Chains A and B, each alone.
Chain A
Amino acid sequence: MPQVSLSRGEMVLEARGITKRFPGVLANDNIDFDIKGGEIHAILGENGAGKTTLMNILFGFYQPDEGELFIGGKEVNFKSPLDAIELGIGMVHQKRKLIPAHSVIENIMLGHPHAGNILNKNKAKTEIAELSEKYGFKIDLNAKVWQLSEGQKQGVEIIKALYRGAKVLILDEPTSALSPPETKNLLESINAMAQHNLAVVPFITHKLPIVLAISDRVTVLRRGKVTAQFKTKDVTEKSLAKSMIGREVIFKLAREEVEFGNPVLQVENLSANSERGHLAIQGLSFSIREGEIFGIAGVSGNGQEELAEVLAGLRKTVGGRVLLDGEDITHHSCLKRWRKGVGYIPAERNDVGSIGDFSLTENVAMNYYFDDRYAPGGIISYQKLRTMTEELISEYGVATPGPEITAKSLSGGNLQKLILARVLSLKPRLLIANLPTQGLDVGAIEFVQNKLLQAKKDKTAILLISGDIEEALALSDWVAPIYEGEFMDIIPAKDANMDIVGAMMAGLRPKVETK
C-alpha cells in the first residue's frame, strides 16, 4: 500500500482520463484532475455535469470504466470506499452521514480500525479534542448528534475523516446548509487544513463567490467533460459562470409589478411544535395580499418546514390563528384547505409531493380525487384526468413519453414541473412553495421561478420559503429572515440586500435603512 506523504506541494492524488458510462449516459468523459499537498482545488459544475460520479470514483464508490487513479505517484484501484479511506481519502457528503441517535464520539469512532474490541472512549476523546483544537472546531463530544446544528454536524464529519487519517478531504457542497457565520468558520477551518498540508477538494454547484474565496485552483465540469482548469487568482465570477454553463446570462426573470389586492392569508401569533415536542415556530405574525410574494429566507431547520406544514394543515398549532380570506382556518383539515384554495408545494417532491409508483395521471388525481367535477358520486373519471394531465404535460413542458409513466421515472426537474402544474391548475388563493427550486438545474430553476411570477400576476398570494437569499430577494415583495422559529424582521425586498438578510438568517439584527 502506498503511503501518502504530507509535504507541501507534492502531488497527492492524480486522476488521468477517468471515463464512466451509465446506461444511456456518458457521466464522466476523459477527466484529468490532480491535487497537491496544502492545496485547495475546487470542482465546479451544474447538476448533471458529472460531479457526483467523479466524486464517487475518487472515494471508491464507483469504479471507472477507463482511466487511472494515482496516490502519491502509485496507481491504485479502489474496490470500495474502505480502500479509499485506508489510503487517506476522506469524504464529507452533502447529505449528512451521521447517526442522529448516537453521540458525537460514537459517530467518530464508528468503523475506526483502532477503536478496539471494547470501546476506549477516553483515549479517543483526548485525540479527537486535539484535532478539533487544531482546525478550529468546537463540538461537545458527548452530545447526541441530533442536538447539533448543521454546521456542527458537518464539523463532526470532517473530524471523523481526519481522525481516520485523511490526507485528501473531499467536501460535497460544503456550504449549502450553513448560515453565513458558519460558512465563515468553515472556510477558516479549511484554510487551517491546507496550512497543515492537507489537500482539500470542495465540489460546488452554484456558489461562485465561495470558490473564489477559498480555492487555489478550480476545475470546471460540463456534461461530463472538463471545460476549463484555472488558477483561481486568474478568474472572475463571470468567466467561471461562462465555462460552467456555456453561455453568458443566467437568469431572465419576467418580473412585472403587480398591484396588490385584498389580504388572502393572515397569520396571528402562530406557534407550533417540532416532531420532538419543542417549539419550532413561535409567535409568527404576517399577512399576504393577492399578487404578493412573501419570502422567508433561512437556513433549513429553523422552523420553515413546520410553518409550511401548519399552514397546509399537516401540523397542529399550539397557539395563534390562521385566517384565509378573513375566515379562521386554524383548525381546518388539510383536505378542507385544499378545497378552500390553499395550494402547497412541499420540499420533498419524491417523498411527499408525489407517489412514485402511481402514474402521472394518478399523481394529478392527488389534487382532484375530492373534486366532484372529476369524481362525481365518488367514482373517479380517469378519462377526464388523463386529458387534463396531457394538457398539463404539454403546457409545462414535462419531458415524458406520456401520462401512463410512473412518477418515479421522471427526473427531479420534470417531477417538480408536474407538481407545480398540478397545484397551480387548482388556481389556489394561497400558494405555499417550500424550497421550490432546490436541487434543480438552471433551466428548471428559471422555469419554476417564472411560473411563480406568473401565478403572482394571476393574483395568487404566495409564501415562498427559500434557503437561497438571492432567490428570495429576486422574487419576493417582502423578505422575512427566519432564525430559530422567529422572524428577525420583515423587510420590503427593495430595502434588503444579501448582507442584511444573511446576517439575520444567522440570528443577528443589523440595522435596516429604508429607501
Chain B
Amino acid sequence: MLELFVRSLDASTVFTIAALAELIGQRSGILNVGIEGVMLFGATLGFIVAQTTGDYLLGIIVAIAIGGIIGLIHGFFSITLGGDQVVSGKGIWIFGFGLTTYIGNPYTGPLNLPRIAKIGGASPFFYIAGALIIIVWFVLTKTSLGLKIRSVGENPSVAEVSGISVSKIRYLCVVTSGMLMGLAGAVYALDYNPVWNYNFIMGWGFIALALVFFSMWNPIILLGGSVLVGALWQLALNPQFVLPGIMSRYLWRTVPFGITIAALLVMSTKWFRTRWGAAKPEALGLPYKKE
C-alpha cells in the first residue's frame, strides 16, 4: 500500500511538471496541444542519451534542450507566423509521435542503469516539482514579469500599448514551457517508467492539458489536481487494491480518461462558471498580430 502511495506520488510528479509547463504557456496566451509530442521527444532523447552515455544528468539536460527547441518551433509557428495554435500543436504532437517512433525504436526495452536514488522515500523530482509550483506561483502573482505574462495572455494589444513586447514575453513563456515539458518527459522515461516503447507516454500529455483547464490556471489547484490524477492512475493500474476482481484490468485503464472528461464537463457547466468565475486567459489560443 505504501509502495502504491509512493508510485502515485511519482506519477503526480510527472503530471505536475507537465501541466505546469502547459500552464506557463497558456497564461501568456499560447495553447500547446502538442504537449504529448514534446514529452515524447524529451522522454525518447533523454532515454537514448542516458542509455548510451550512462549519465542521467546528461539525459535530462538533453531532454530539456529538445523541449526548448520544440517550444521555439511552436513559438515560431504561432507567434511569428501567427498561425493557428491548434494546427501547430497537433503538428508537433504527430511530429513527435512519428519521429520518436523511428528514432527510439533501436532502443526499445528497459534502461540499463541503476534506478535514480530516492530522497526521503520520494523521487528527487518530487521536490523539484514542488519547488517549481512555488516559483511559478510567485512569479505569476507577485512579480512584474508575472504581471506582464498575465497581461499578454489576457489582452496582447493592451500589453503592447503599455510598452511590452508581446512576442518577447510569449517566446519566453513558450520556450520555458517547452523545456519543462521536455523535463516532464525525461522524468517519465528515466524515473517513473524507464522502459522505452513507442508512444509510451500513453496520453499523459493530454491529461496534463486537461489538468490545466481543470486547475483554472492556478498553480496551487493544479498541484491538487495532479496528486489526484496520479493516485487515480496508479489505482487504475492496480485495481486489486481497491475493488479486487470487479472489472477487467483493461477497463480500469479507461477510468482516468473517463474521469478527466467528467471533470471537464462539470467545469464547463454554466453553474460552475458563474459560481467560480472564468479564469481562462482571454487571449488563449488567439494569434496576435500588431495592427
User: Which A residues are closer than 8 A to B by beta carbons?
Assistant: 61, 81-82, 85, 91, 93, 97-102, 106, 109-111, 115-119, 160, 276-277
Q: Are B143's CB and A110's CB within 8 A?
A: no
**A102 B150 Cβ-Cβ under 8 A:** yes
Smallest CB separation, B27 vs chain A (Å)? 12
Whether B7 sits at the interface, judged by CB under 8 Å, is: no
Q: Which of A102, A109, A119, A276 contacts B154 (CB 8 A)?
A: A102
- Check B159–A111 contact: CB distance below 8 A: yes
The answer to whether B163 touches A82, judged by C-beta atoms less than 8 angstroms apart, is: yes
Contact B148 A99 (CB under 8 A): no
Within 8 A of A (CB), among B149-197: 150-151, 154-155, 157-164
**Smallest CB–CB gap between A256 and chain B, Å?**
44
B143 near A118 with CB under 8 A, answer: yes
CB distance from A171 to the nearest CB of B (A): 14
Q: Are A110 and B151 CB-contacts (below 8 A) given A91-B161, A101-B282?
A: yes
Contacts known (A115-B144, A277-B274); A110 close to B154, Cβ less than 8 A: no
| Residue of B142, B143, B147, B154 with highest tally of chain A CB at under 10 A | B147
Q: A102-B150, A110-B151, A276-B274 are in contact. Are A119 and B143 (CB under 8 A)?
A: yes
Tell me which residues across on chain A come within 8 A of B291, comparing CB atoms: 61
Q: A102-B151, A106-B147 are in contact. Are A81 and B160 (CB under 8 A)?
A: yes
C-alpha gap A160/B151 in the complex (Å): 15
Distance of A109 Cα from B163 Cα, bound (Å): 11
List residues 1-58 of chain B with CB under 8 A from any CB of chain A: none
Q: Known: A110-B151, A111-B163. Contact between A99 and B145, CB under 8 A? A: no
Interface string of B247-291 (1 = CB under 8 A from A): 000000000000000000000000000100000001000000001
Minimum distance in angstroms from A306 CB to a CB of chain B: 15
Measured between beta carbons, the chain B residues less than 8 angstroms from A106 are: 147, 151
Determine how close the nearest CB of chain A comes to the CB of B287; give it in whole angstroms: 16
For A116, what are the chain B residues with a Cβ–Cβ distance below 8 Å?
144
CA distance A98 to B162 in the complex (A): 10
List B contacts of A99 (CB < 8 A).
150-151, 154-155, 158, 282
Nearest opposing residue in chain A for B146, CB measure:
A119
Chain B residues whose CB sits within 8 angstroms of the CB of A109 once the complex forms: 144, 147
Please measure, in the bound complex, the distance between the C-alpha atom of A160 and the C-alpha atom of B158, giving whole angstroms: 12
Known: A98-B158, A117-B144, A119-B142. A85 touches B163 (CB 8 A): yes
* Chain B: number of interface residues, binned into ranges: 20 to 34
Per the bound structure, the CA–CA distance linking A102 and B145 in Å amounts to 15
- Tell me, in angstroms, the Cα distance from A102 to B143 when the chains sit together: 14
Is the beta-carbon distance between A97 and B158 smaller than 8 angstroms?
yes
Most B CB contacts (10 A, CB to CB) among A82, A99, A100, A160 go to: A99
Task: Give chain B residues whose Cβ lies under 8 Å from the Cβ of A102.
Answer: 147, 150-151, 154
A117 to B154, CA, bound (A): 20
Contacts of B148 in A (CB 8 A): 110-111
Is A110's CB under 8 angstroms from B147's CB? yes
Determine how close the nearest CB of chain B comes to the CB of A352; give it in whole angstroms.
Answer: 18
Residues of B with C-beta under 8 A to A117: 143-145
Cα-based distance from A117 to B291 in the complex (angstroms)? 29
Given contacts A117-B144, A118-B143, A119-B144, contact A110 B164 (CB under 8 A): yes
- CB A91 to nearest CB in B, in angstroms, measures 7
Chain A neighbourhood of B164, CB < 8 A: 110-111
Supply 5 A–B pairs (Cβ within 8 Å), ascending by A.
Answer: A81-B161, A100-B282, A111-B162, A119-B144, A276-B274
Chain B residues whose C-beta falls within 8 Å of the C-beta of A101 in the assembled complex: 154, 282
Task: Give A143 Cβ to nearest chain B Cβ, in Å.
Answer: 15
Closest A residue, CB atoms, query B150: A102
> Which A residues lie within 8 Å of B150 (CB)?
99, 102
Question: What are the residues of chain A within 8 A of B155 when measuring CB–CB?
Answer: 97, 99
Q: A82-B163, A99-B155, A110-B148 are in contact. List 16 more A-B contacts (CB 8 A).
A: A81-B163, A85-B163, A91-B161, A97-B157, A101-B154, A109-B147, A110-B151, A111-B148, A111-B163, A116-B144, A117-B144, A117-B145, A118-B143, A119-B147, A276-B274, A277-B274
Q: Which of A82, A93, A111 has the most chain B CB within a 10 Å cutoff? A: A111
Name the distance in Å between B160's Cβ and chain A's nearest Cβ.
7
Question: Shortest CB–CB separation between residue B256 and chain A, in angstroms?
Answer: 31
Chain A residues near B145 (CB-CB < 8 A) = 117
Choose one: A61, A98, A118; the contact of B144 (CB below 8 Å).
Answer: A118
**In the bound complex, what is the Cα–Cα distance between A115 and B145 (angstroms)?**
10
Q: List the A side residues contacting B161 at CB < 8 Å.
A: 81, 91, 93, 97
A141 vs chain B, min Cβ distance (A) = 15
Task: With CB as the reference atom, state the residue of chain B lying closest to A98.
Answer: B158
Given contacts A97-B161, A99-B155, A110-B159, contact A115 B147 (CB under 8 A): yes
Q: Which B residues touch A100, using CB under 8 A?
A: 154, 282
Residues of B within 8 A of A93 (CB): 161
B244 to chain A, nearest CB (A): 46
Shortest CB distance B150–A (Å): 7
Cα(A81)–Cα(B154), bound, Å? 20
Residue of B nearest to A108 (CB): B162
C-alpha gap A390/B274 in the complex (Å): 46
Q: What B residues does A118 contact at CB under 8 A?
A: 142-144
Contacts of B143 in A (CB 8 A): 117-119
Q: How far apart sit A102 and B162, CA to CA, in the bound complex (Å)?
A: 14
Cα A101 to Cα B151 with chains together (Å): 9
Closest B residue, CB atoms, query A277? B274
CB closest chain-B residue, reference A116: B144
Least CB distance from A27 to B in Å reads 14
Least Cβ distance of B234 to chain A in Å? 36
B158 surroundings in chain A (CB, below 8 A): 97-99, 110
Identity of the chain A residue whose Cβ is nearest the Cβ of B164 in the assembled complex: A111
* Complex-state Cα separation, A111 to B162, whole angstroms: 5
